[in-house]
Amino acid sequence: MTRDHSRIQKICRILKARYPDVKTQLNHQNAFQLLVATILSAQCTDRQVNSVTPALFATLQTPEDFSRAPIETIEALIHSTGFFHNKTKNIQNCARALISQFGGKVPDTIDELVKLPGVGRKTANVVLGAVFGIPGMVVDTHVARISKRLGLTDSTDPVKIEKDLMVVIKKSEWNDFSLWLIYFGRAVCNARKPDCPNCFLNHLCPYPDKKS
């Protein structure tokens, strides 16, 4: 790893200047909707999730609605997001757990959130940051890939990556940093063909397989 703090600060300043106004790309109107949308986003693009959730949330609004809905109804509404059998099971069980354990309200701590079916640390941190303004480091495929390329971690384990990033990134920037890398990963540093020659972080990137 290349954890030079001056270099990391420069990376953050450049990313902040390039992406000054970042927020989750999953459309939502409340914490529960974002929780459901984030569960749906596993192995699926935000754009595809956003194409599904308007009809989904027009049909089912509350944890009670989801808990009582026929499985076939939910599956039909979320089918195009992929893995719809497991996602339906997770969402319905999550809704039931919210009712039984939290009075139907989405909790605002990571320890409580990760106890919900289908909710891992990534999903929990998305909700905490976007809805409650609580600092958290979201590690999705973009964040995992780019943080390793930038030498901020040498791990492939999301929990270890999260911990590594929390050490080198200021807590006040945790939420934004995750989103900066997501935006950057979609636009420049993609998985198969990173645009290294035109990358504004090229001079700060130790990635050994940079494209010339």
Which residues are known catalytic residues?
Answer: 122, 140
- Name the CA radius of gyration of the chain, rounded: 18
184-203: string of b/e by CB count within 10 Å (b at 16+)? bbeebbeeeebebeebebee
Say if CB 8 and CB 168 are below 8 A apart. yes
Say if CB 15 and CB 150 are below 8 A apart. no
Q: Nearest to residue 8, comparing CAs of 207, 204, 208, 210?
A: 204
